[in-house]
Amino acid sequence: MHGQENIQRMLYWAERMGIPVASLDGDLQTLHLNEVRIIDVLPEMLVMIRSVVAEKAICYRRKSIDIIQRGLLISFQNIISHPANHAIHDSRLQQAQPHVRITPLHLESEIQFPEGMTIRQISILIELDYLKSYLGKQYQKFEYLFHQEKTLLIEEFMSPEMALVVNELVDGCLVRALPETYYRLKSLELLYLLFTSLSNRHQVPQQHLRNEDIAAVYRVRDKIERSLDKPWILNELVKLSGMNAIRLRRIFVQVFGKGIYEYYQFLRMQEAARLMQQERISVSEAGYRVGFTNLSHFGRLFERHFGAKPKKWSSNLTL
């Protein structure tokens, strides 16, 4: 698809998805739209695949989405894929961990395009009754997602299995026969893997979240993510959040599915794996980079997360 067609398509769907087109005025000239693809199977589902890189940092507000009356927005973000031909590369920029975010369609949110970073994203809008039918009797495990009177936000890490299907969807432009059927089936496969992962989360009562709660818990998460090589102090995180310790822990688990310390250790292991896989650094250097001075302890934790000691895991990358 040519650049101008990408822009027109993005403007059309931006307005339908709660983004005032006026707020994009001027910004589109600084956005390189490598790809914008829409798979419209409304009223049950809509899938949007996009690859964008911004010449300057852009931030705007998205209002509630009403093209589906009762539904969820499920976004697969920071996809690791083939480099876009027109992407602006800057090795100083760190790519956030690939993750999935689930929100009700009525939740207003802030959309950010960091300067010089390619944003690859798949967004699935799905109608709640259709999702309930898809999950069958198992939907009761995820009943908290169907209470539209509550505001919730769920973030889940993208598993390797999800990443494979995500990249199949991203590369789906090569599909010639029955493309709509292909995208629908692949999207449902992706949802199956996501809900399999969600079923393993810590089960906690789902509270209604205020915008301030969401902002606070992300401040804490971002601070942890920015300093994986240094231990954090709980009192500092509590002060940063503006909550008491009990409430912070409860909301953190509700949003991210893990306790604060467990989440911190998980991020360290993910970053160590990325360093070995993408930057091809040694096991010991990866351990030191994420703050371990005891490499035996690092090896045990890594094996617990990935099922293999880091040296064996990294050697398998070259096979």
Query: Is 175 within a domain?
Result: yes
Q: How far is CA 26 from CA 86, 118, 199, in A?
A: 20, 19, 43
**Residue 268 maps to which CATH number?**
1.10.10.60
Q: What SS3 class is residue 14? A: helix
What is the per-residue pLDDT across 247-272, written as a single tens digit (0 to 9) for each? 999 999 999 999 999 999 999 999 99
**CA 57/CA 55 separation, integer angstroms:** 7
Q: How many C-beta atoms surround the C-beta of residue 188 within 10 A?
A: 14
Which of 171, 198, 225 terminates a domain? The answer is 198
Highest mean predicted confidence (pLDDT) among 94-103, 154-163, 178-187, 233-242: 233-242
The residue type of 54 is A
Q: Does residue 86 have a pLDDT over 60?
A: no
| Residue 200: pLDDT over 50 | yes
170 and 111 together in one domain: yes
Give long-range contacts, CB 8 A cutoff, 24+ apart: 180-186. Answer: 180/39, 180/41, 183/39, 183/41, 183/47, 184/39, 184/41, 184/45
The verdict on 191 and 240 lying in the same domain is no
Domains of the chain: total: 2
Expressed as residue numbers, the domain containing 33 is 3-198
Q: What are phi and psi of 100, to 5 degrees?
A: -120, 135
Query: Does the residue 59 lie in any domain?
Result: yes
Query: Are residues 242 and 133 part of one domain?
Result: no
Identify which has the larger pLDDT, 154 or 171.
154
The predicted model gives 232-250 an average pLDDT of 94
| Domain-ending residue, one of 134, 166, 198 | 198
Distance (Å, rounded) from C-alpha 39 to C-alpha 187?
10
Domain assignment present for 203: no
Q: Do 180 and 310 fall into the same domain?
A: no
Could you tell me which residue, 212 or 89, shows the higher pLDDT? Answer: 212
Q: How confident is the model at residue 84 (pLDDT cuts 50, 70, 90)?
A: very low
Q: What is the pLDDT of residue 169?
A: 86
- CATH code where residue 164 lies: 2.60.120
pLDDT greater than 60 at residue 1: no
Q: Are residues 220 and 193 in the same domain?
A: no
- Does residue 156 sit in the same domain as residue 242? no
Residues 147 and 238 in one domain: no
Q: Comparing C-alpha atoms, which of 100, 102, 101, 40 is closest to residue 68?
A: 40
Looking at residue 115, what DSSP letter applies?
B
Q: Which residue, of 153, 171, 198, is where some domain finishes?
A: 198
- Residue 67 and residue 193 share a domain: yes
The pLDDT of 265-286, averaged and rounded, is: 91
pLDDT at 246: 94
| 127 and 234 co-located in one domain | no
State the chain's mean pLDDT as an integer. 83
Residues 278 and 161 occupy one common structural domain: no
Spatial separation of the C-alpha atoms in residues 83 and 77, rounded to whole Å? 15
* CB under 8 A, 24+ apart: contacts of 14-18: 16/65, 16/67, 17/62, 17/65, 17/67, 17/125, 18/62, 18/63, 18/64, 18/65, 18/66, 18/108
Banded pLDDT at 88 (limits 50, 70, 90): very low
DSSP 21: G
